[in-house]
Amino acid sequence: MRKSIVVLSAIALLTACKEKEIVLQYYQTPYTYDIVNVQMPPVTSEVKNVILMIGDGMGLEQVSCAWVLNKGKLNFDNFPYVGLSRTYCTDYLITDSGAGGTALAAGVKTAESHVGVTPDGTDLPSVLVKAQQLGKKTGVAVTCHFADATPCDFCCHNEERYNQEDLIADYLECGVDYLSGGGTDWFTDVKRTDGRNIIKEMAAAGYNVALTEDELMAADLPVIGILAPDNLPVAMERGDLYRHTVARGLDLLSKGSGDKGFVMMLEGSCIDDWLHGNDIEKAMEELLDFDRTIGDVLEWAAKDGHTLVIVTADHNTGALTLQDGNLEEGRIGVHFANESHNGIAVPVYAWGPGSDKFTGIRENAEWGQLIASFVK
């Protein structure tokens, strides 16, 4: 949600900075992990599969903090090609996940709070729709609930991201083969006011509905795993749940796609939530879990040899700065300047066939168009 930020005059701002004591939050992760060591296939190899990974709210400063916490190593280090993405939307310099995600999903900038539509409300087909038209399998796996903006950017259409009842109903017609996330409350009368049970309607539409991890691991395509009442549990509580859902999606989509290949969007959704709350501990554990998931994906892609992996963010959150810490101890001291988004460009990482094209500074919609160009 957008929060008003009062812009002080230069003199007032300097005065405020002198009077306000900057309080650092310190955090040291309870454990570290080894990163994967993979051999990337030639960039000239054929691209059959495209995996887009989005760390919601994840800027360079957040990645830098995670790098220190894991004592100077991340799976991000495997990416040989890096670019920058400008994230502003059509009506504001500071975007939200609706507009920011739509630019990546459909290659078109749109207005704040819009999901899967142009500024005037016209439906935009996402890269998943293009893949479906080409006979490819498609998948989405997130840590948030399905009514949140980013999964809706790829699967739904609405001028307002908070029209959650309508957005959830859109999943009935999205055609995505593998869906995994949270939000059973949003599918039923716990949060719906229209009396519909979208879980039952998804089953009637031909989806295998899984409400537990075990059910998801046993289900075949098409499947929707709705594994929590709202978002998935926080990273320190859910363990490897998200990594398991991603691995299951890769297995089902690769086996089900034959020679056609697949396109998958994976989101570390809750990095952003905890940055909004200025909770560095939970934000970093979400980012570290996202990085471990990146390692899993890269290991799978290295064995496949024909998979392009892109990692980026929809926007930057929290005005975070890394101001203290210790690399050997895996300890950071940080300061948050706000509880909202900001307009700083976010990184774009690429690995695998075609990855050499992902360099330079571009608009987020241009990155979306480039990603779509490899779906063929």
Contact 75, 61 (CB under 8 A): no
Determine phi and psi for 301, rounding to 5 degrees: -65, -35
Structure tokens at 180: 């995994």
For 236: left if phi > 0, alpha if psi spans -120 to 50, otherwise beta; the answer is alpha
Tokens of 122: 């016209």
Q: What is the mean pLDDT of residues 295-321?
A: 98
Q: Could you tell me which CATH number the domain at 24-373 has?
A: 3.40.720.10
Q: Please tell me the distance from the alpha carbon of residue 233 to that of residue 240, in angstroms, as a whole number.
A: 11
pLDDT, tens digit, 9 for 90 and up, residues 235-254: 999 999 999 999 999 999 99
Instruction: Please tell me the distance from the alpha carbon of residue 267 to that of residue 271, in angstroms, as a whole number.
Output: 10
* The pLDDT of residue 10 is above 50: no
Average pLDDT over the chain reads: 95
335 neighbors 321 (Cβ within 8 angstroms): yes
Provide the annotated active-site residues: 97
- On whether the CB atoms of residues 253 and 137 are closer than 8 A, the answer is yes
Closest CA to 348 of 60, 42, 49: 60
Is 59's pLDDT higher than 90?
A: yes
Half-sphere exposure of 161 (CA within 13 A, CB side): 27
Cα distance between residue 310 and residue 312, in whole Å: 7
Residue 21, pLDDT score: 63
Q: Which tens digits make up the pLDDT trace of 147-173?
A: 999 999 999 999 999 999 999 999 999
pLDDT at 18 over 80: no
Tell me how far apart the alpha carbons of residues 78 and 38 are, in angstroms, rounded to a whole number: 8
In sequence order, what are the beta bridge partners of 49? Answer: 307
